[in-house]
Amino acid sequence: MKCAAKEPRAVAFRVARSMLVIAVLASCGGSAKTDARYPPRPEGCDVKVFRGKVAGITYDDIGHVDSICGSDLGPEACLAELKNQTCKLGGDIVYDVPDEPNQPSPDKISYTGRVAHTRTAGRGPDQPKAR
């Protein structure tokens, strides 16, 4: 009978150890990589949204963002989250944003976009070429 009592304890220990390993590995993923030239900006920063390509502005591409929201929040709140993700990457522009949100499931909506930062006039030739 003593052996049976130790077995559930051993199983519980293995499960707890496995959960700890998973939690540690998940935390190693970190957050999105940022461009050293454009550090993260505060949430709610000013972001210009372009529904297509950007014309007439010199900029540096930084990355890709998406926001997935409950459909009860609505498109405006989901677009605000897309802007916040842009700020986290250091961008001041998000482009190629669709006019209407995607609907990946009946209770979710999403937006995607490309993040960029406007290029200042003083950038030297050692900087990557702007688009």
Q: Give the pLDDT confidence score for residue 66 in this predicted structure.
A: 96
- Say yes or no: 2 and 59 in one domain: no
Closest to 79 in 3D by CA, of 103, 64, 101, 95: 101
The answer to whether 63 touches 20, Cβ cutoff 8 Å, is no
What's this model's pTM, rounded to 2 decimal places? 0.67
pLDDT per residue as tens digits for the range 40-84: 999 999 999 999 999 899 999 999 999 999 999 999 999 999 999
Residue predicted with more confidence, 83 or 120: 83
- Say yes or no: 112 and 54 in one domain: yes
Q: Could you tell me if residue 62 is inside a domain? A: yes
Residue predicted with more confidence, 114 or 22: 114
- Say yes or no: 97 and 52 in one domain: yes
The secondary element (H helix, E strand) that includes residue 14 is helix 2-27
- Which structural domain, as residue segments, surrounds residue 56? 48-118
Residue predicted with more confidence, 56 or 22: 56
- Say yes or no: 52 and 109 in one domain: yes
* CATH at residue 97: 3.30.110.70
Express the helix, strand and coil content of the chain in percent, nearest 5 each.
30, 25, 45
